[in-house]
Amino acid sequence: MKLIARVFPRKTSMSPTDKHAYFGLPPMFPKYDEVHISVTFTWDIKRGYYLKKQWGMVCDNVRIGGPALNDCGGNFESGMYLRKGVVITSRGCPNNCSFCFVPKREGKIRELPIIEGNNILDNNFLACPIEHVVAVFRMLKTQKGVIFSGGIEAKRVNDHFIRKLREISFKRLYLAYDREDQECHVAKASIKLREYFTREQIGCYVLIGYEKNNTQTIEGAKWRLKEAWDLGTMPFAMLYQPTEHRRYSKEWKQLQRMWTRPAIIKSMMK
């Protein structure tokens, strides 16, 4: 069996935690058959290639890939590039949003073998066939504190999905609010969900920094975030990053940080 080191430019809450996961330069005299450099974010590409060069000095077989490098993604292996418990049950998305790279990288939608875990990270879980959704929920009945960290397309939220959520140990999901024209869908989904769940359980990814022709202002972004709150969700700001890394001002970064912290958001909205 090959011994593989997985190397990441930065550590996140989704990163693997086993002894063969690294977040920087190689240790003294590592003994690995392969080294995989995994780059998730476009702003880490330069560091990813730097790590590839450094690890190449201690291992002859070093590969680099990941979403930031347009990796289309194969079958999901639990604990390999994401920590145990985080699972991907499908790849791709049937939508063609102008700001999203997923369809170009992974295609429309394809189901993967279902692996046990309590954190679903699919790009568009509810776009999967109903049989797949039912099978995933069957697995989730054995899990505690279930989270849907992948964005849930609001217009696909229906009574069947909510009924399935009520049958499991459900902790939180995140609706996707990427464009202004999705307001009505987010509102309808929130109304359905709030009948059974709290605001803290109904997160909402709000894309900021993106508008056609890059016209969104700081004030416009604040308005969208406050609107997500008014719609009954807990906003979570997602700062848009195109393929070519964009440098944002301190004000944009501060806005994002503020709107990713529930305690601060609640205080502002009182």
> Is 262 in the same domain as 129?
yes
Quote the domain boundaries for residue 142. Answer: 73-269
Q: Of 35, 68, 101, which residue constitutes the final position of a domain?
A: 68
**Same-domain check for residues 87 and 64:** no
Regions of the chain short of the pLDDT cut 50: none
| Same domain for 113 and 244 | yes
Sign of the Cα pseudo-torsion (94, 104, 72, 6, in order): negative
The last residue of a domain, from among 41, 68, 95: 68
Q: Which pLDDT belongs to residue 38?
A: 97
Give tens-digit pLDDT for 54-92.
999 999 999 999 988 888 888 899 999 999 999 999 999
Are 64 and 154 part of one and the same domain? no
Last-in-domain residue among 18, 35, 68: 68
Separation in Å, CA 131 to CA 79, 111, 128, 143, 196: 25, 10, 8, 19, 24
Q: Are residues 141 and 205 in the same domain?
A: yes
Number of domains in the chain: 2
Whether the predicted model's global pTM rises above the 0.75 cut: yes
Using CA atoms, how far apart are residues 227 and 94, in angstroms rounded to an integer? 27
Note whether 55 and 183 are same-domain residues: no
Same domain, 230 and 96: yes
Same domain? 54 vs 78: no
Q: Which two tokens stand for residue 186?
A: 């987010």
Residues 116 and 64 in one domain: no
Of 7, 84, 79, the closest CA to residue 39 belongs to 7
Cβ atoms < 10 Å from Cβ of 35: 25
Q: Are residues 115 and 236 in the same domain?
A: yes
80 shares its domain with 28: no
The pLDDT value recorded for residue 99 is 79
Write down the pLDDT at residue 231.
94
Do 183 and 64 lie in one domain? The reply is: no
Q: How far apart are CA 237 and CA 46, in angstroms?
A: 25
| Alpha-carbon span 210 to 178, nearest angstrom | 9
- Residue whose token pair is 């979403």: 67
| Tokens (6 digits) for 205 | 């990814």
